[in-house]
């Protein structure tokens, strides 16, 4: 039996590479601060967007049930690392950063690159090899609970309104970057949740899976926001707690969809 679906999703914050990506993001933002004003809408914007997207893709890839999707998101991370490294090459060439600064940040990016390639190789094995599902991995299954979708819907709506208020605090430099991306991710969660109500079982599962990725992406942007000091600790805690609750509820909903599908088949 070919395995294309994961048995469980882990917490992206437990990944070493995620921590390294956040540290890299911090260093990049420090470099961006030192770039001249005329690069604000060119190089600075590119660097900001690429490194934020890198963190978000890592989170979205890790928090979904399909290996193929994880692989694609990890590939996007590679692409974004390439963008960051190229922008750093330009910064060095233009003399905006010193050689030691460049070497230090390039080493960090290479470290992340190697870790992501390792993760892709691992994921690729699941895509290539035909393994016995039972022997593949030991896993724990979430308990199947009878959850009404309206409960998740209510929580996601609350999260959306919290995010809408939150983005007003973001600096103007984040207008085309994090402000847009966090709003889009939060909206995508709600849209996919709504779509799952009207879909067939397999489509509902896919929609919920996308919603799961989007919520994880939203939380990744919150991690960046607190790190950059755009939001307060209490705001972060509020969003983080709500986001974690939504993640658990969506995973339970997915199990429910799976169970209902099995009952219909047999």
Partner 1 sequence: MKRVENFRDFQLYLRSMYLTRESYEVIHVCKEDLTDKEVALIRKMAITIPIKIASAVGQVNMKLRFKNLNNAKSIVIQLRATLLEFNKKKKVDDHSFTRIDGYLEDILKLLHGYFWWISNEKAK
Q: Which two tokens stand for residue 66?
A: 């399909």
Residue 82 binds partner 1 (CB under 8 A): yes
Q: Which of 8, 30, 94, 244 binds partner 1 (CB under 8 A)?
A: 94
Q: How many residues sit in the footprint of partner 1 (CB under 8 A)?
A: 27
Residue 115 binds partner 1 (CB under 8 A): no
* Listed residue (26, 13, 42, 46) closest to 109, CA to CA: 26
Q: Could you give the string, one character per residue 203-222, with x where binding to partner 1 holds by CB under 8 A and - elsewhere?
A: --------------------
The residue (of 42 and 169) whose beta carbon lies closer to partner 1 is: 42
Cα angle 197-219-261, degrees, rounded to a multiple of 5: 30
CA distance 51 to 262: 41
CA distance 252 to 265: 20
The residue (of 84 and 204) whose beta carbon lies closer to partner 1 is: 84
The residue (of 56 and 222) whose beta carbon lies closer to partner 1 is: 56
Q: To the nearest whole angstrom, how small is the minimum distance from the Cβ of residue 75 to partner 1?
A: 5
Query: Exposed e or buried b for every residue in 32-45, given b needs 16+ CB within 10 A?
Result: beebeeebeeebbb
Residues 50 and 251: beta-carbon distance below 8 Å:
no
Residues 243 and 156: beta-carbon distance below 8 Å:
no
* Listed residue (178, 166, 152, 179) closest to 242, CA to CA: 152
Q: Which two tokens stand for residue 6?
A: 């994961």
Q: To the nearest whole angstrom, how small is the minimum distance from the Cβ of residue 78 to partner 1?
A: 4
Q: To the nearest whole angstrom, how small is the minimum distance from the Cβ of residue 57 to partner 1?
A: 11
Q: Which stretch binds partner 1 (CB under 8 A): 9-17, 33-41, 219-227, 237-245?
A: 33-41
Q: Which stretch binds partner 1 (CB under 8 A): 9-17, 38-46, 203-211, 243-251?
A: 38-46
Phi and psi torsions of 5, nearest 5°:
-115, 140
Residue 72 binds partner 1 (CB under 8 A): yes
| Contacts (CB under 8 A) with partner 1, residues 117-146 | 117, 120-121, 124
Q: To the nearest whole angstrom, how small is the minimum distance from the Cβ of residue 80 to partner 1?
A: 7
How far are the Cα atoms of 25, 132, 254, 258 from residue 204, in angstroms, in the given order?
34, 26, 8, 10
Q: Which of 21, 56, 81, 163 binds partner 1 (CB under 8 A)?
A: 81
Q: To the nearest whole angstrom, how small is the minimum distance from the Cβ of residue 121 to partner 1?
A: 6
The three-class DSSP label of residue 5 is strand
Q: Which of 25, 69, 73, 80 binds partner 1 (CB under 8 A)?
A: 80
* Listed residue (176, 170, 210, 172) closest to 193, CA to CA: 210
Q: Which of 85, 108, 153, 184 binds partner 1 (CB under 8 A)?
A: 85
**Contact positions toward partner 1, by CB under 8 A?**
38-39, 41-43, 46, 72, 75-76, 78-83, 85-87, 89-90, 93-94, 113, 117, 120-121, 124
């Amino acid at each position: 039996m070919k395995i294309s679906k994961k048995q469980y999703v882990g917490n992206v914050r437990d990944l070493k590479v995620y921590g390294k990506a956040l540290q890299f993001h911090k260093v990049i933002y420090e470099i961006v601060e030192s770039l001249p004003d005329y690069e604000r809408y060119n190089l600075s914007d590119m660097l900001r967007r690429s490194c934020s997207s890198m963190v978000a893709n890592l989170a979205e890839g890790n928090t979904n049930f399909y290996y193929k999707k994880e692989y694609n998101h990890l590939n996007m991370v590679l692409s974004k690392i390439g963008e960051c490294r190229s922008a750093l090459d330009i910064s060095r060439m233009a003399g905006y950063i010193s050689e030691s600064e460049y070497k230090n940040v390039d080493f960090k990016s290479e470290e992340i690159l190697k870790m992501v390639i390792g993760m892709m190789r691992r994921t690729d094995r699941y895509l290539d090899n035909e393994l016995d599902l039972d022997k593949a991995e030991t896993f724990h299954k979430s308990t199947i609970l009878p959850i009404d979708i309206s409960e998740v819907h209510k929580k996601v709506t609350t999260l959306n309104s919290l995010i809408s208020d939150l983005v007003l605090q973001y600096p103007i430099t984040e207008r085309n970057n994090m402000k847009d991306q966090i709003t889009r991710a939060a909206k995508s969660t709600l849209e996919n949740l709504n779509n799952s109500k009207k879909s067939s079982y397999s489509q509902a599962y896919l929609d919920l899976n996308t919603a799961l990725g989007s919520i994880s992406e939203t939380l990744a942007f919150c991690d960046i926001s607190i790190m950059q000091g755009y939001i307060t600790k209490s705001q972060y805690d509020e969003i983080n707690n709500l986001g974690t609750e939504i993640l658990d509820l969506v995973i339970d909903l997915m199990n429910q969809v799976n169970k209902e599908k099995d009952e219909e088949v047999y």
